[in-house]
């Protein structure tokens, strides 16, 4: 079911009865409401898991809607013929079709069922293993509806044993499991009535059958509405409103020519789709596969990062290199292909600081109350840590808010760089201080020029005003960043060390994989590593990785821009350190191999065959220097 906000339909778990806002706004806001409620129940579970991984916790402000804010890739497994992808969903969201296995079901019915089906198609009615308070009343309602419409019915009564109920000849009771793929195929069934589960809905529509949905809870009402909107059945009939008359009316709508035609068209479209293949292709498209491969053996997935040589290694390669004493485990850390900046979205300094001060006040009130409880130690701990953390939050909020002011005034800003340790924090803080002073002064010239180019004389006057503001704001933001970023980097470094509890398991996995290599295979891994880590190739990889990180930062900074706006922004290149285009690209350099994508260092070779004393031609599987074949094109 959808979790990405859209004004076209509400969140499946939110049932809005009344709203002062318009329908589109209400639908859009329902996703934030559902995500916030989910976070209230699962936030502590998520944060405990994040702590184990060495990732900073999320708060009630940053947790809800984080996947939407960070544009995390999402693949939805339903058919676009039933529920098309909304136009406002970006290219990080795909709708690929129902994810079903190939139909290879062979089923032999008993004689009674065969005889019943031989008399003509019937309506299938079943609600799975749903438990109801009054099963006899539900059975009676269904039988009355079947009688009033004069149809034949297959009744899968999982909610009752139907003991003592008088079953008419036009109704056949299914008491054993029958595969839906078989029962719904070859015209055995004329329509289906069920609870609206995603799997049952997909099976019925795939067979081109009109569908009646009687939702009980969860997302079942949503799928019932989707079926009705597509014309393949009546509006859903909630169980609490189910009567013999309502069900009979629904059966008549389902058997109408309009519903049969719509369901048949949807079924034809679903059968033409390959949701599983399209899902795999979508995942391959959305993942950064080029930086997920081992750079020693590109046929394997990378699991480790060696910053000493700026190289990604698989479990096999890392284990083999450590066994040969080429590397130490201290040289390696788990690879994180993508880092999401999950921090709070800051605005201008006043609002940002107000939120932090409110958080400190709440922590102080709770801590003071705990001092008077049976566990005063918890209150003292909360107050002490709250003061330390609160002071950092206030300073960070002031820095981020001050840094935002230039962009809010319409000035060109530099993308922020994620810092993960003290050294990176010191480096970025120093750069920010220099850039703040430099940009504040040069802005007196560049801002009027930029404004004139965009809006003429009026833009030049406005640009001069921005330049005066930046002369104050940018140096101040640089000085605050010089204090905040090193502290932030040190804090994240400590958290990362806490997440190293997973290291022993990954090391054991690498050692086990390396132990399975033959002598020749292990030697080839060493040869490939030594050839890849000569100075020239390491320099190329370092520059390419830094460029990739810079482009990712630019993509995050300008993710909300249209392509036209992004091109316009990129063309306003007043500074040498201009923001790159907002879409991540594979870095291309003159020393990058066209065939393998690996850095080249022509003329540089490492002769290690003699020093290893190993026949490199021995062994069962060579380490291929060429990337695997390209992924198949995505089916449309």
430 or 499: which carries more pLDDT confidence? 430
Which two three-digit tokens encode residue 292?
Answer: 């997920």
* pLDDT band at 404; cut points 50, 70, 90: confident
Distance set, CA 89 to CA 7, 84, 160, 192 (Å): 10, 11, 43, 32
Question: Once rounded to an integer, what is the mean pLDDT over residues 427-443?
Answer: 88
The H or E element containing residue 530 is helix 519-532
pLDDT tops 70 at residue 12: yes
Quick one: pLDDT at residue 319? 93
* pLDDT band at 449; cut points 50, 70, 90: confident
pLDDT tops 80 at residue 300: yes
Rg (CA), the chain: 31
The pLDDT tens digits of the residues spanning 554-589 come to: 665 555 555 555 445 444 433 333 333 333 333 333
pLDDT tops 70 at residue 628: no
User: What is the rounded CA–CA span in Å between residue 141 and residue 160?
Assistant: 13
Quick one: pLDDT at residue 302? 92
User: What is the rounded CA–CA span in Å between residue 138 and residue 355?
Assistant: 53
The H or E element containing residue 408 is helix 376-408
Quick one: pLDDT at residue 578? 34
**Cβ pair 170, 149 in contact under 8 A:** no
- Rounded to two decimals, the pTM is 0.73
177-214 CB burial, b ≥16 within 10 A, e <16: ebebbebbbeebbbbbbbbbbbebbbbbbbbbbbbbbb
Which two three-digit tokens encode residue 73?
Answer: 């890739």
Quick one: pLDDT at residue 63? 86
pLDDT tops 80 at residue 490: yes
Quick one: pLDDT at residue 164? 58
Question: Once rounded to an integer, what is the mean pLDDT over residues 450-472?
Answer: 86
406 or 438: which carries more pLDDT confidence? 438
User: What is the rounded CA–CA span in Å between residue 424 and residue 169?
Assistant: 79
Quick one: pLDDT at residue 228? 94
Residue 350: closest CA among 358, 339, 342, 361? 358
Angle at 529 between CA 526 and CA 531, to 5 degrees: 110
CA atoms 98, 103, 106, 112: torsion sign: positive
Residue 13 CB-half CA count within 13 A: 14
The per-residue DSSP string of 416-440 comes to: P----SHHHHHHHHHHHHHHHHHHH
**Cβ pair 274, 97 in contact under 8 A:** yes
Quick one: pLDDT at residue 451? 84
Place of tokens 């198949």: 632
The pLDDT tens digits of the residues spanning 159-209 come to: 666 555 778 888 888 888 888 888 888 888 999 999 998 888 999 999 999
Q: Determine how many CB atoms are found less than 10 A away from the CB of residue 385.
A: 12
Of 264-268, 376-380, 485-489, 612-616, the poorest mean pLDDT is in 612-616
Which two three-digit tokens encode residue 579?
Answer: 């923001």
User: What is the rounded CA–CA span in Å between residue 487 and residue 418?
Assistant: 13
* pLDDT band at 344; cut points 50, 70, 90: low
Question: Once rounded to an integer, what is the mean pLDDT over residues 583-602?
Answer: 39
The pLDDT tens digits of the residues spanning 15-38 come to: 877 778 888 899 999 999 999 999
The pLDDT tens digits of the residues spanning 492-534 come to: 777 666 656 678 888 999 999 999 999 999 999 999 999 998 8
User: What is the rounded CA–CA span in Å between residue 610 and residue 623?
Assistant: 19
3-class DSSP state for residue 154? Answer: strand
**H-state helical runs in 168-241:** 180-183, 198-206, 220-229
Spell out the residues 6+ positions from residue 287 whose beta carbon is closer than 8 angstroms to its own.
73
Distance of CA 2 to the CA centre of its chain: 12
**Cβ pair 222, 12 in contact under 8 A:** yes
Which two three-digit tokens encode residue 39?
Answer: 């976070």
Quick one: pLDDT at residue 593? 40
User: What is the rounded CA–CA span in Å between residue 200 and residue 180?
Assistant: 8
Quick one: pLDDT at residue 45? 93
Which two three-digit tokens encode residue 382?
Answer: 């909360």
pLDDT tops 60 at residue 606: no
Which two three-digit tokens encode residue 419?
Answer: 């810092």
* pLDDT band at 124; cut points 50, 70, 90: very high
pLDDT tops 90 at residue 619: no
Quick one: pLDDT at residue 498? 61
Residue 105: closest CA among 184, 214, 223, 2? 184
Which two three-digit tokens encode residue 476?
Answer: 């101040």
Q: Chain-wide mean pLDDT for the chain?
A: 80
**Cβ pair 214, 234 in contact under 8 A:** no
The pLDDT tens digits of the residues spanning 70-122 come to: 888 999 999 999 999 999 998 889 999 998 877 666 778 888 888 888 888 88
Count of positions (residues) in the chain: 636
Quick one: pLDDT at residue 590? 37
Question: Once rounded to an integer, what is the mean pLDDT over residues 213-223?
Answer: 91
pLDDT tops 80 at residue 68: yes
**Cβ pair 159, 130 in contact under 8 A:** yes
User: What is the rounded CA–CA span in Å between residue 85 and residue 349?
Assistant: 38
Q: At what angle do helices 315-323 and 503-515 cross, to 10 degrees?
A: 80
Which two three-digit tokens encode residue 512?
Answer: 């086990």
Question: Once rounded to an integer, what is the mean pLDDT over residues 538-557?
Answer: 75
User: What is the rounded CA–CA span in Å between residue 562 and residue 582?
Assistant: 10
Question: Once rounded to an integer, what is the mean pLDDT over residues 543-559?
Answer: 69
User: What is the rounded CA–CA span in Å between residue 284 and residue 286?
Assistant: 6
């Amino acid at each position: 079911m959808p979790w990405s906000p859209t004004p076209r339909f509400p969140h499946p778990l939110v049932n809005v009865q009344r709203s002062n806002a318009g329908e589109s706004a209400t639908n859009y806001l329902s996703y934030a409401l559902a995500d916030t409620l989910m976070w209230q129940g699962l936030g502590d579970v998520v944060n405990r898991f994040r702590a184990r991984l060495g990732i900073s916790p999320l708060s009630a402000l940053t947790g809800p809607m984080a996947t939407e804010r960070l544009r995390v890739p999402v693949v939805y497994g339903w058919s676009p013929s039933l529920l098309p992808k909304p136009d406002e969903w970006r290219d990080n969201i795909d709708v690929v079709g129902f994810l079903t296995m190939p139909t290879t079901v062979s089923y032999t019915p008993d004689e009674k069922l065969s005889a019943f089906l031989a008399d003509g198609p019937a309506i299938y009615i079943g609600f799975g293993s749903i438990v109801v308070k009054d099963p006899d009343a539900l059975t009676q309602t269904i039988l009355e509806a079947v009688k009033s419409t004069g149809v034949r019915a297959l009744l899968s009564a999982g909610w009752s044993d139907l003991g003592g109920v008088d079953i008419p000849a036009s109704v056949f009771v299914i008491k054993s499991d029958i595969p839906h793929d078989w029962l719904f195929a070859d015209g055995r069934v004329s329509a289906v009535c069920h609870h609206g589960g995603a799997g049952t809905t997909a099976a019925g529509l795939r067979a081109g059958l009109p569908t009646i949905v009687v939702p009980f809870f969860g997302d079942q009402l949503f799928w019932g509405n989707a079926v009705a909107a597509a014309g393949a059945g009546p509006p859903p009939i909630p169980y609490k409103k189910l009567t013999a008359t309502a069900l009979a009316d629904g059966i008549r709508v389902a058997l109408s020519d309009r519903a049969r035609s719509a369901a048949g068209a949807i079924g034809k479209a679903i059968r033409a789709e390959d949701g599983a293949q399209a899902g795999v292709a979508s995942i391959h498209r959305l993942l950064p596969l080029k930086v997920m491969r081992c750079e020693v053996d590109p046929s394997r997935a990378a699991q480790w990062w060696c910053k000493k040589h700026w190289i990604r290694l698989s479990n096999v390669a890392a284990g083999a290199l450590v066994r040969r004493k080429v590397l130490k485990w201290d040289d390696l850390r788990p690879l994180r292909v993508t880092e999401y900046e999950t921090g709070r979205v800051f605005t201008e300094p006043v609002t940002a600081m107000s939120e932090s001060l409110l958080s400190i006040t709440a922590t102080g009130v709770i801590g003071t109350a705990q001092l008077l409880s049976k566990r005063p130690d918890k209150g003292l701990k909360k107050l002490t840590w709250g003061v330390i953390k609160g002071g950092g939050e206030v300073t960070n909020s002031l820095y981020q808010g001050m840094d935002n002011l230039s962009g809010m005034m319409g000035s060109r800003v530099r993308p922020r760089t994620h810092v993960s340790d003290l050294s990176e924090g010191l480096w970025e803080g120093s750069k920010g201080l220099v850039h703040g002073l430099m940009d504040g002064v040069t802005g007196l010239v560049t801002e009027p020029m930029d404004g004139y180019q965009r809006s003429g004389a009026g833009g030049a006057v406005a640009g001069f005003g921005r330049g005066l503001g930046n002369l104050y704001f940018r140096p101040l933001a640089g000085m605050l960043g010089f204090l905040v970023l090193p502290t932030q980097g040190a804090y994240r470094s400590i958290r990362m060390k806490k997440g190293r509890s997973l290291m022993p398991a990954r090391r054991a996995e690498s050692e086990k994989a390396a132990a399975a290599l033959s002598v020749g295979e292990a030697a080839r891994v060493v040869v490939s590593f030594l050839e890849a880590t000569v100075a020239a190739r390491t320099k190329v990889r370092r520059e390419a990785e830094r460029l990739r990180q810079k482009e990712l930062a630019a993509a995050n900074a300008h993710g909300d821009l249209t392509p036209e706006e992004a091109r316009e922004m990129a063309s306003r290149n007043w500074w040498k350190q201009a923001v790159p285009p907002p879409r991540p690209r594979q870095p291309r350099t003159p020393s990058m191999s066209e065939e393998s994508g690996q850095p080249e260092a022509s003329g540089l070779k490492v002769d290690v065959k003699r020093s290893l004393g190993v026949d490199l031609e021995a062994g069962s599987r060579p380490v291929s220097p060429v990337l695997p074949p390209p992924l198949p094109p995505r089916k449309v």
